[in-house]
Amino acid sequence: MISSKPSVSAGRADSKLDRAFTLVELMVVIGIIAILAAILFPVFSSAKASALKSVCAANLGQLGIAVSMYIQDSSGAYPSGTDGITEPFGNVKNIKLTNQLAPYIKSPAVWHCPDDSGFYFSSSAYGGTMGDPAHPTAYATYGTSYLYLLSGQGIIGPPFLDSELVHPARDGLLFDMDGAWHSREPQVPAGAGLTEWSHYQSLYWYNLLYFDGHVKYVSDPVMRTSWVAG
């Protein structure tokens, strides 16, 4: 005769299936998830920062191509417009680099660095030529996220010619307005003095477009040594 009484082993199996997680087990699982998140978050954050920096560098590469096309159409002369922020020849904002290169650019978005978060500092506090602080971004304020080495040159004097270049692979043409964007360092605060400004600048890195068309991520000292055309 076959008994219908459930076996002891089956009862034990059912009890294991029905048993819920204890509080300690839940805390262990949550702790493991927290540890994994702490490990992976910097990785994802770094990957995102690297991607934004790459987009910015690609923008500068496109601008370099636009400048080359402009030179071909202007008998070797570089654009004479300003970047809007540096005004070496007074109020010449009506002659802007963005307007001069517009025929050679598919979208004005190429002037916008995705890491552009503006800046607070103005060098006019110590007689410099840098413009007013930019909020919320340099692009929104000036129409570009990049500074132009030849800003305004050729407006009241002869334009800079391609034939005048001596070190095209060493000299910079366009670069980020603020080195804090990619280097993830604090921005220079408004009203900072020269000493404080110099300290912050020494920490910064920039995407830099050279005259020969290549783009490189460089430190502030390297950027400054490249900032002389010739």
Give residue-wise pLDDT tens across range 61-108.
999 999 999 999 999 999 988 887 765 555 544 578 999 999 999 999
Q: How many CA atoms lie within 13 A of 72 on its CB side?
A: 7
Other beta carbons within 10 angstroms of residue 216's beta carbon come to: 17
Domain extents for the chain?
22-225
> In this model, does residue 171 exceed pLDDT 70?
yes
Average pLDDT for 180-206: 85
CA dihedral 15→17→21→25, nearest 10 degrees, is 100
> In this model, does residue 191 exceed pLDDT 70?
yes
Give the single-character DSSP code of 171: S
- Per the CB < 8 A criterion, the answer to whether 152 and 85 are in contact is no
pLDDT digits (tens, 9 = 90+) for 98-148: 999 999 999 999 999 999 999 887 655 444 445 678 889 999 988 999 999
What is the structure's pLDDT at 7?
54
Weakest-pLDDT range from 27-36, 101-110, 117-126, 203-212 = 117-126
What is the structure's pLDDT at 219?
94
